[in-house]
């Protein structure tokens, strides 16, 4: 069975790639531009993923389940100064892998189905489905990878896929700018991630998770604690980029330039999920100092993004900043050691955020591509299915009881309280304060969105004719149009969307209910997810392997002994299937509390457990306050939002303009980079080129001198010699005529001359 799971996971990985290859080359030759190819292949992949989920999660139900397969991809032999150098590729399937495969596949399939309605009539309809395929393939690669090198390959493919989809409407300057912004911003994080990978490889000479964990567990490394912390923080930079954490969060809201189904896929299941998933995979190597950095960044991001969402007008932009905020919660959870809770929130958030984005797409589609909430209103009567599903997902996002978001978010907040108590309070209490503050704001901005979109009367007819007639920096919200909206009429007929856009909303809304994850609406860790996905603190490689050529099928008979306080201890037994492949067997639950090999984490988990119900109470109070504020401002209008915005105009503009991060980066990073580029350009033109041109001038003059010397001296001597020889030859030609008479005359002349010279000498 374990061998078949590996084969099935490879099929899951390759089917979306096949969809991409077929559609990118042949979509224009196929009926409906080949959308049925993408939908069919993703449907097949989903069926296989659900089978893997059933096998791993339902049938085995074992926290320590793990099966892996790898092979040697590149073998450089014995490299001088390095030693044996091999790069392996492989697949690992554990509980987290099985859950993530099912989640990503389900949302991708629903996005494919939804897109058959939303994208109908688009010029590049077939290409869009091809891009969805490569995006899904890339995320599957991240989920299945068993080592840092292969995950980095798929990591970059996710970046490429997002670049293609965010800039799908490439003819628009805003879309082209957004795709470049996303791509370049992520490169910053990816450089840090690669440096972290290189630090670990230089120490352990392997990219494999399992091998690195074993080395660290056995103390088999020579680097200092500071180097290990640096490696962890650098690896976390990849998450900061992909999961849009401060300070690299600025790309995600601009990613709204892509089609709305893309937003659902990016924000729920693929790109942003990759960062949190990666940190979970490397959790074992993170030192306490690295976790402190992660916790504070997550807490700040959660609060900051929530403060921005409360003033945005674009329905998708509100949800975008909500995603940044919720990702901050997940990162916060990992930083404080609430490992299971953070990943649980990753799962629950994927469903209700995908529902919200697809719901916003349905609204935009029905409103003829109107995205400004100020011109909506009264849609609950005309779009009841969209309203019902959007409301359920909103309640889950706000964290109300009976929803999945309540279970996962409160577990993170409990972890933040336990972590702060363990660290002795002080500045560490800022983490739960920011977390609970973000909870208030989340309930407020989602309540605001629900009222502006679905309630009141339609305000479509009040929209200015010119899109630019409304000042984006206006300090009002909807007060000046509230009274005029009554008695208004629709400028465009609005109706519910078709079944292929409605069905995904119903499925995702259903998955946002608490009962899917736990029978207890106030779950204290009794749900199946929290039981099965536990902190992989101890990894003991005593598994057996069966070799098939260059490949080996591995499983680990290991106990994941470190878990949150609300999980059960499992006694892991080794079992074999068909006598050759080892698998982690079913453990027998012991309800006497968890077993820990790390006293620090044990104490944090104990304090988390003690603060569980405190977190529930505080979180519920925060949600009530947030919803109450939304009612006061937008429903009952006890406090006028426009007058309030005027009274606190600097704060309002600070929120509306996104804390001016784009302007700050433009004034510092971008203009600083341009200044550095100009300095280097000047240096190149004046110094480097000056030196090169000066050297060229000197050598040109030397060459001229050499040429003149050659022409006038060397050639002159040669030519003079030739002239002399030529003249002499001409003279001798006159003398040596070959005639006897001439020679006789010359002899007579010579004799007479000699006689004359003799007489002259004699007479002296």
pLDDT at 661: 94
Dihedral of the CA atoms 122, 124, 129, 135 (nearest 10)?
-120
Reduced to 3 states (helix: H, G, I; strand: E, B; else coil), residue 694 is: helix
Tell me which residue of 361, 161, 193 sits closest to 261, measured CA to CA. Answer: 361
pLDDT band at 521 (very low <50, low <70, confident <90, very high): confident
**Are the C-beta atoms of residues 66 and 584 closer than 8 Å to each other?**
yes
Q: 632 to each of 271, 379, 438, 656, how far by Cα in Å?
A: 37, 21, 19, 20
In angstroms, the CA 536 to CA 558 distance is 9
pLDDT at 545: 32
Whether 81 shows a pLDDT value over 80: the answer reads no
Lowest mean pLDDT among 188-197, 538-547, 693-702: 538-547
Whether 673 shows a pLDDT value over 80: the answer reads yes
Residue-averaged pLDDT of the chain: 84
pLDDT at 732: 78
Across the range 478-485, mean pLDDT stands at 38
Q: 448 to each of 377, 442, 454, 624, how far by Cα in Å?
A: 11, 10, 10, 14
Enter the DSSP assignment of 570.
E
Nearby residues of 380 by Cβ (< 8 Å), 6 or more positions away: 387, 454, 455
Enter the DSSP assignment of 81.
T
User: Which carries the bigger pLDDT value, residue 237 or residue 458?
Assistant: 237
pLDDT at 480: 37
- Which of the given ranges, 188-202, 264-278, 591-605, has the highest pLDDT on average? 188-202
pLDDT band at 593 (very low <50, low <70, confident <90, very high): very low
Q: What is the pTM for the complete model shown?
A: 0.82
Lowest mean pLDDT among 118-122, 483-487, 504-508, 640-644: 483-487
pLDDT at 492: 57
In angstroms, the CA 257 to CA 392 distance is 26
Whether 652 shows a pLDDT value over 90: the answer reads yes
**Are the C-beta atoms of residues 440 and 359 closer than 8 Å to each other?**
no
pLDDT at 596: 37
pLDDT at 587: 32
Written as six digits, the tokens of 508 are 């995702």
- Distance from the Cα of residue 120 to its chain's centroid: 28
Instruction: Give the side-chain half-sphere CA count within 13 A for 519.
Output: 0
User: Which carries the bigger pLDDT value, residue 731 or residue 394?
Assistant: 394
Across the range 393-400, mean pLDDT stands at 94
Unique residue bearing structure tokens 């924000």 = 267
pLDDT band at 524 (very low <50, low <70, confident <90, very high): low
pLDDT at 539: 36
pLDDT at 397: 95
Across the range 177-191, mean pLDDT stands at 94
Whether 591 shows a pLDDT value over 80: the answer reads no
Written as six digits, the tokens of 587 are 């453990």
């Amino acid at each position: 069975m374990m061998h078949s799971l590996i084969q099935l996971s490879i099929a899951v990985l390759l089917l979306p790639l096949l969809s991409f290859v077929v559609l990118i080359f042949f979509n224009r030759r196929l009926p409906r531009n080949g959308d049925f190819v993408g939908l069919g292949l993703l449907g097949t992949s989903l069926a296989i993923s659900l089978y893997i989920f059933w096998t791993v999660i339902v049938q085995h139900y074992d926290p320590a389940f793990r099966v892996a397969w790898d092979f040697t991809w590149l073998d450089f032999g014995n490299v001088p100064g390095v030693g044996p150098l091999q790069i392996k590729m492989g697949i690992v399937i554990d509980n987290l892998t099985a859950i993530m495969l099912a989640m990503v596949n389900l949302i991708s399939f629903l996005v494919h189905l939804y897109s058959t309605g939303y994208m109908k009539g688009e010029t590049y309809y077939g290409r869009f489905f091809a891009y969805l395929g490569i995006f899904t393939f890339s995320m599957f690669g991240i989920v299945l990878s068993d080592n840092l090198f292969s995950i980095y390959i798929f990591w970059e493919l996710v970046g490429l896929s997002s670049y293609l989809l965010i800039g799908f409407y490439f003819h628009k300057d805003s879309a082209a700018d957004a795709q470049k912004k996303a791509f370049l911003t992520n490169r910053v994080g990816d450089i840090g991630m690669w440096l972290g990978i290189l630090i670990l490889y230089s120490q352990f000479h392997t990219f494999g998770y399992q091998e690195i964990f074993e080395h660290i567990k056995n103390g088999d490394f020579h680097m200092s604690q500071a180097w290990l912390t640096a490696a962890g923080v650098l690896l976390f930079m990849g998450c900061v980029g992909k999961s849009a954490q401060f300070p690299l969060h600025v790309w995600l809201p601009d990613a709204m330039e892509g089609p709305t189904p893309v937003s659902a896929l990016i924000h729920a299941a693929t790109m942003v999920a990759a960062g949190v998933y990666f940190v979970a995979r490397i959790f074992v190597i993170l030192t306490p100092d690295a976790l402190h950095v992660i916790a504070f960044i997550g807490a700040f991001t959660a609060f900051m993004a929530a403060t921005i969402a409360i003033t945005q007008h674009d329905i998708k932009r509100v949800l975008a900043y909500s995603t940044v905020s919720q990702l901050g919660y997940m990162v916060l959870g990992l930083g404080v050691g609430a490992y299971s809770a953070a990943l649980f929130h990753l799962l629950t958030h994927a469903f209700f955020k995908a529902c919200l984005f697809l719901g916003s797409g349905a609204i935009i589609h029905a409103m003829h591509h109107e995205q400004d909430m100020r011109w909506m209103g009264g849609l609950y009567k005309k779009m009841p299915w969209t309203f019902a599903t959007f409301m359920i997902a909103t309640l889950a996002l706000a964290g109300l009881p009976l929803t999945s978001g309540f279970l996962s978010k409160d577990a993170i907040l409990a972890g933040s309280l336990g972590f702060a108590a363990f660290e002795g309070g002080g500045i560490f209490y800022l983490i739960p304060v920011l977390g609970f503050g973000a909870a208030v704001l989340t309930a407020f901005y989602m309540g605001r969105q629900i009222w502006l979109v679905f309630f009141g009367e339609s305000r479509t007819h009040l929209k200015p004719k010119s899109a630019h007639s409304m000042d984006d920096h206006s300090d009002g919200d909807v007060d000046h149009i509230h009274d005029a909206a009554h008695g208004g009429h629709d400028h465009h007929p609005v109706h519910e969307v078709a079944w292929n856009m409605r069905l995904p909303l119903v499925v995702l809304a259903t998955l946002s209910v608490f009962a899917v994850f736990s029978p207890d609406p106030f779950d204290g860790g009794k749900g199946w997810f929290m039981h099965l996905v536990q902190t992989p603190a101890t990894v003991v490689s005593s598994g057996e392997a069966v070799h098939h050529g260059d490949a080996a099928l591995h499983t680990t008979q290991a106990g994941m002994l470190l878990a949150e306080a609300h999980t059960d201890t499992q006694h892991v037994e080794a079992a074999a299937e068909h006598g050759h492949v080892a698998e982690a067997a079913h453990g027998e639950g012991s309800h006497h509390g968890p077993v820990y090999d790390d006293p620090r984490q044990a104490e944090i988990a104990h304090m988390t457990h003690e603060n569980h119900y405190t977190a529930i109470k505080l979180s519920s109070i925060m949600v009530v306050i947030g919803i109450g504020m939304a009612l006061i401002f937008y429903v009952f209008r006890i406090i006028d939002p426009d007058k309030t915005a005027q009274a606190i105009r600097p704060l309002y503009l600070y929120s509306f303009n996104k804390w001016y991060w784009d302007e700050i980066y433009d004034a510092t990073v971008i203009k600083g980079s341009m200044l550095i580029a100009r300095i280097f350009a000047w240096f190149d033109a004046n110094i480097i080129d000056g030196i090169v041109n000066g050297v060229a001038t000197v050598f040109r003059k030397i060459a001229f001198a050499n040429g003149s010397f050659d022409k006038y001296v060397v050639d002159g001597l040669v030519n003079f010699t030739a002239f002399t020889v030529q003249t002499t030859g001409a003279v001798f030609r006159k003398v040596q005529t070959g005639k006897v008479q001439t020679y006789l005359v010359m002899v007579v002349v010579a004799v007479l001359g000699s006689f004359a010279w003799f007489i002259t000498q004699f007479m002296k």
